[in-house]
Amino acid sequence: MTGGPGKASRAEVGTGVATRDSVGTGVATRDAATTATSATVEGERRQSLGAKGRRTATSRVSGVAASRRCRPLPHRWLRAGCRFDADLAGPGPGSVRPVVRDVSPFDLTLDQLRLRTSAKWRAAGPDVLPLWVAEMDVLLASPVLEALREALDRGDTGYAFGTAYAEAYAAFAAERWGFGGFEPARSAVVPDVMLGAVELLKLVTGPGDVVVVTPPVYPPFYAFAEHLGRRVVEVPLTADRRLDLPALADTFNTAAARGPAAFLLCNPHNPTGTVHSAEELASVAAAAEATGVRVVADEIHAPLVLPGAAFTSYLAVPGGDEGFVLVSASKAWNLPGLKAAVAFAGPDAAHDLARLPEEVSHGPSHLGVLAHTAALRHGGEWLDGVIAGLDRNRGLLGDLLAARLPTVHWAPGAATYLAWLDFGDVPELSFAVGSGAPSRGDASARVGAAAWFLEHARVLLSSGPAFGPGGERCARLNFATSAALLSEAVERMSEALARAG
């Protein structure tokens, strides 16, 4: 499996003894593949660079004595894109050597990641493993890096212009999903998805009008709509994390009776990873068409639909012609700091989009537009590698939770790299779940289970209550990182709970 340019990483699995393997300076990962009991451990660890810059590691463990019983970790994740290296097997009982080399785009050590100055890596202390905000631990796709370098070399750092970004997205959608309805003539470049949503809501609603959301949902849906002076009305997802279609239809009727109203749709859904079906979206469109409610769909995670699911754009369903869709390459190619997005209108909404103030187009970064366009046009192979890596991490996380945090509930999503974890049945957290100041809409809140794990495990998650109703017992975990770092984070959380118990 191929990933980021020329990089490879290793997930190291032992031979039945609980061990720790290095992730980077000051952080270690525990081999969760053990039934054994932990022990008096004497280890020595050597790391070197191979002839081609590959990281190699050796660890030996001996002197096992009974102490604490660990649950075995199934190795389903090993069957997806990893290869066995017989030459790395240990010499016999009492020793552990790496036996699996995991080729992944998430091949960055903790030392490398600590050099980053973005929010993910600077919002907490240097001893914290950050698995919260939606940034991926990957290097840029080569076509993106090349486009940026060429622009800087020629001094091309002015204002964004033209429809190249919209044209690139339209071609990407046609190739990936077989949908040709993203028409550049019915598009506008906007600063980012949420600021684009604000501008679209201004076009179709006024102060005091209703904006419907489906919690638990991306916290800025609340913050931006309320800051705009709109009244947020919640229609929670069902127990199985699907849209509650009857409740949405009733809410649309009630809201429309008061005046203009809009539905801010998250497709795919953040934080649950739900991919709404074509039938569900058609039902939403029918209810919206019957009541005059305008649909604004955030489809930023659409390129990150994982194997086993199929994406449908809101504009692709019957009745979606009056809707709007906001898209961006920022999540799929890890470009949130290079601000740019595109708003597309359905055929019957084009006249509304035409009223968008011209100055909105001044907000996107020109370098962002160039980078996003290059990603969509030439970054497909890189994206395929990322999706394969995320699919493998999704399986690994499920195995880690089953082995080390069995009372935590998680229904793996069909899209995104975000895991919505339910801690409601973790007895050690009964006092922490739902605790803290009101935080709905505050993406930086540190309350509830997330606050507890930050303090006691030095793992940073996104606080569930910020996502609205349904988030009181939960926290969101970002698994777009290395297998080693993900394993270490879960082990820290498990050990913190063991200490609390």
pLDDT by residue for the chain (501 residues), tens only, comes to 333 333 333 333 233 323 333 344 333 333 333 333 333 323 332 332 233 333 333 222 222 222 223 333 333 322 333 332 333 223 333 322 232 344 578 989 999 999 999 999 999 999 999 999 999 999 999 999 999 999 999 999 999 999 999 999 999 999 999 999 999 999 999 999 999 999 999 999 999 999 999 999 999 999 999 999 999 999 999 999 999 999 999 999 999 999 999 999 999 999 999 999 999 999 999 999 999 999 999 999 999 999 999 999 999 999 999 999 999 999 999 999 999 999 999 999 999 999 999 999 999 999 999 999 999 999 999 999 999 999 999 999 999 999 999 999 999 999 999 999 999 999 988 877 766 667 899 999 999 999 999 999 999 999 999 999 999 999 999 999 999 999 999 999 999 999 998
d(CA 16, CA 12): 12
d(CA 462, CA 407): 19
Q: Residues 364-393, buried b or exposed e (16+ Cβ, 10 A)?
A: bbbbbbbbbbbbbbbbbebbebbbbbbbbb
Beta-carbon contacts of 488 under 8 Å, excluding residues fewer than 6 positions away, are: 23, 27, 28, 29, 30, 129
d(CA 362, CA 77): 45
Check residue 252 and give its pLDDT: 98
DSSP, res 306: P
Of 166, 172, 268, nearest to 214 (Cα)? 268
DSSP reduced 3-state for 51: coil
Length of the chain equals 501
Burial class (CB in 10 A: 0-12, 13-18, 19+), 82: buried
Question: Per DSSP, which regions of 364-491 are E strands?
Answer: 418-422, 459-460, 462-463, 474-478
Torsion angle of the four alpha carbons 162, 164, 167, 171, in this order, in degrees rounded to the nearest 10: 180
- The pair of three-digit structure tokens given for residue 74, joined into one six-digit string: 């199934």
Question: What separation in angstroms does the CA of 400 have from each of 127, 179, 244, 395, 501?
Answer: 21, 37, 31, 9, 20
For residue 173, count other CB atoms closer than 10 A to its CB. Answer: 25
Architecture of domain 142-378: 3-Layer(aba) Sandwich (3.40)
Check residue 104 and give its pLDDT: 77
Check residue 71 and give its pLDDT: 37
Beta-carbon contacts of 464 under 8 Å, excluding residues fewer than 6 positions away, are: 216, 420, 448, 449, 450, 471, 472, 473, 474, 475, 476
For residue 454, count other CB atoms closer than 10 A to its CB. Answer: 20
Check residue 41 and give its pLDDT: 26
Of 434, 456, 431, nearest to 445 (Cα)? 434
Pair 490, 161: CB distance under 8 Å = no
Pair 322, 252: CB distance under 8 Å = no
Pair 225, 264: CB distance under 8 Å = yes
- Class of domain 20-139+382-500 as given by CATH: alpha beta
Quote the pTM value.
0.81
Torsion angle of the four alpha carbons 296, 297, 298, 300, in this order, in degrees rounded to the nearest 10: -140
Q: pLDDT digit string (tens) for 228-241?
A: 999 999 999 999 99
Beta bridge partners of 71: none
Percent of the chain beyond pLDDT 90? 76
Check residue 75 and give its pLDDT: 31
Check residue 107 and give its pLDDT: 84
Instruction: Report domain extents, the chain.
Output: 20-139+382-500, 142-378
